[in-house]
Structure 1
Amino acid sequence: MRVGLLGAGRIGNVHAQAITTHPESELAAVSDAFEQNAQALASGYGCDVLSSDQIFADPSIDAVLIATSTDTHSDLIEAAAAAGKAVLCEKPVDLSLERASACLETVGAKASDIMIGFNRRFDPSFSALKAAIDAGEIGKTELLSITSFDPAPPPVEYIKVSGGLFRDMMIHDFDMANYIFGAAPVTVSAVGTSIADPAIGAEGDVDTAVVTLTYADGRIAVIKNSRRAVYGYDQRVEVLGSEGLLQAQNVLENTVVKSTTDGVSSAKPTYFFLERYMPAYRAEWAAFVEANKAGKGMPVDLKDGVAALAMAEAATRSSKTGKPVVLADI
């Protein structure tokens, strides 16, 4: 599979590693709004620098990976699909639910062939937890808890264009809830505050939030997010079932545990997403390649991306009004 990479920033470089280390794909070309970024990535991987339009028009390029700014995602998805390319697009589909829904309508039947980059589904621990649930190892699932804390707040310049914590950060956890429970919630209740970095609050965003999801069958999910956890990147999932409990714990910097008369201590969690989720990015790309080879739908597709964005929109509204939002109303 010959691949055109759209976007040569930090996440574009992560995807370039995944593409070039897979035995059945090669990085053919890269484009970026800042040519120096494209040139730097291309020189490291020996690929061409082309415009997005040139990549779409090149019949030798089989697939595109979209890792550009979020406000360009829907346009590029539509253009790539129209050009007959296989598509993997980073989350979220768009900052606007209305625009994302229009994109879904535009691509029509191709929606199941467009993969959205919710890489955490492919994390070895999270996918093993999901497999155990599907095998009935803890009976009927009842209560889900997702913890996702960043080590430090991002720059305020990033906050201004991020779309807010619920669309930018917690959207991963909304998709994880859909993945684990296999259904969308009925109601979304959110509370958020700016306590870690007042500058984030000054931009109208929150840096600390809790969301509660309720389901038609009585199940409950709780999602906790913070932009600041001084001890590292805290990523945990816990599921209580009628016959037991499943937990996916943090990945630590090392596995050494020290036990002395002073107590027992271990290493901190890995520092950030590059260290924590690189295996997931590789597994995500492998799943994309395999799905295209097999001619089957994507394991997480455009409809899933729009569904998670609808939950983010509901959470944003709930946090502002202080009232639960019925997802169907979104």
Structure 2
Amino acid sequence: MPRFALLGAGFIGSVHAANLAVHPDVTFSLVYDINHARAHSLAAAHGARATTDLDEAFDPHGIDAVFIASSTDTHAQHLVRAAEAGIAVLCEKPIDLDLTHAREASAHAAGHGIPVMVDFNRRFDRDYAELRRIVVDEEIGDVELIQLSTRGPSLPPLSYIATSGGQMRDQTVHFFDLARWISGLDPVEVFATGSALADPRLAEHDDVDTSAVTLRLPTGALVQIDSVRRTGYGYDERIEVLGSTGMIEARRHRTGNVSRYSAGRVVEDGLHAGWFERVRPTYAAALDHFITALGNGTAPAPSLEDGLKAQAIAEAATRSLHTRRTETIDY
């Protein structure tokens, strides 16, 4: 069983720790964090050992794989170090906020031939996987229009916004990846527009909280993505694909499926309170895919190339927000 070191004991690290601890084919060995108290607390909760020594986390004699869930500015350096140690990597997005640095780190890892997977976990959503299967099997003909929504529920703290890289790189990037994955095509150009409506102070960070993006695929088909940081009614995520002979839709996920009928009205269950409640199962599914790939000796996906391509779209979309022009995507 692969021996895992988890790098990062924050919120998302705690999510991954819980999944590592219960996976039957994993030895959850180590939790690393610069904050020893946080690392110790998370490790103790899941039967692992805590450390503030990176040498332990990258020791190939005791560790087979690292899960990089530390702060974004450390992802690339951890990826490079894992490559030099010959250790497999499951990495939270992005590889680095700077696309040039991300490409350099990815090339370094590729040169060492280690297995690497970028954790675009929404690919492991059951409904999205079925939607993609239908597209791949051409059950709705040729794809002509894809519409994706990612909305709310609440604006993150401004301290997070300041270091997030902006809405395109932080939130919408997941849906750039889904658009590529579902269509099987790399968009060639993008137009993005947005506003700071939930909190005008986002403009001070050169960011938006409400945006609409149009991607053009090489076939001429279009992708539309609306992204909202604050809804007021819960987390709203859905995908629709229009084909030449039909349409498919992965609908909103509600907290339940009971409708209450009374005179003059129908009351239905609402949406999940937050994004995490909606996508929580996908994290375990992504981890399982990575572990299965390691066991089979196959390349896990999403790959580094997938991560870089989604980030390249995000870069072009960010430029478009500022230039207010259609931008060509440079892969």
Shorter-chain TM-score bucket reads: over 0.9
SS at match of 1:288: helix
Q: For residues 321 and 65 of structure 1, do their structure 2 counterparts lie closer, same or farther at Cα, with a shift above 3 Å needed?
A: same
Q: Which runs of 4+ in 1 moved over 6 A?
A: none
Query: Contact conserved, 1:112 with 1:297, CA < 8 A, in 2?
Result: no
Q: Which moved more, 1:126-135 or 1:222-231?
A: 126-135
Equivalence for 1:210 = 212
Structure 1: tracts of 5 or more residues without a match: none
Report the Cα distance in structure 1 between the residues aligned to 2:192 and 2:311, rounded to whole angstroms. 15
1:153 matched to 2:155: yes
Deviation at 1:11, TM superposition (A): 0.3
Q: For residues 145 and 110 of structure 1, do their structure 2 counterparts lie closer, same or farther at Cα, with a shift above 3 Å needed?
A: farther
TM-score (norm 2): 0.96
Identity of aligned residues (%): 40
Query: Contact conserved, 2:153 with 2:275, CA < 8 A, in 1?
Result: no
Counterparts in 2 of 1:55-204, with a 5 A limit? 55-109=57-111, 113-204=115-206
Equivalence for 1:54 = 56
SS at match of 1:57: coil
**Size of the alignment, in residue pairs?**
329
Equivalence for 1:31 = 32
Larger RCO, structure (CA 8 Å, separation 6 or more): 1
The amino acid across from 1:256 in the alignment is V
Q: Deviations over 1:253-286 (max 9, x none)?
A: 1111122332223111111232111211111001
Q: Deviations over 1:7-53 (max 9, x none)?
A: 00000011111112211012100001211210110110121112222
Report the Cα distance in structure 1 between the residues aligned to 2:181 and 2:262, rounded to whole angstroms. 41
1:234 matched to 2:236: yes
The amino acid across from 1:327 in the alignment is I
The amino acid across from 1:205 in the alignment is D
Q: Which moved more, 1:253-262 or 1:280-289?
A: 253-262
Query: Contact conserved, 1:111 with 1:301, CA < 8 A, in 2?
Result: no
Report the Cα distance in structure 2 between the residues aligned to 1:127 and 1:137, rounded to whole angstroms. 14
Deviation at 1:109, TM superposition (A): 4.3
SS at match of 1:264: strand
Q: Deviations over 1:91-136 (max 9, x none)?
A: 1111101111111221234578210010000011111111121122
Equivalence for 1:320 = 322
Equivalence for 1:20 = 21
TM-score (norm 1): 0.97
The amino acid across from 2:255 in the alignment is E
Query: Contact conserved, 1:112 with 1:298, CA < 8 A, in 2?
Result: no
Deviation at 1:252, TM superposition (A): 1.1
Report the Cα distance in structure 2 between the residues aligned to 1:112 and 1:324, rounded to whole angstroms. 37
Report the Cα distance in structure 2 between the residues aligned to 1:133 and 1:258, rounded to whole angstroms. 35
The amino acid across from 1:231 in the alignment is Y
Q: Which moved more, 1:271-280 or 1:117-126?
A: 271-280
Q: For residues 242 and 112 of structure 1, do their structure 2 counterparts lie closer, same or farther at Cα, with a shift above 3 Å needed?
A: farther
Structure 2: tracts of 5 or more residues without a match: none
Report the Cα distance in structure 1 between the residues aligned to 2:217 and 2:263, rounded to whole angstroms. 47
Report the Cα distance in structure 2 between the residues aligned to 1:149 and 1:210, rounded to whole angstroms. 11
Query: Contact conserved, 2:60 with 2:87, CA < 8 A, in 1?
Result: no
RMSD after superposition: 1.3
1:264 matched to 2:275: no
Equivalence for 1:42 = 43
Q: Which moved more, 1:253-262 or 1:285-294?
A: 253-262
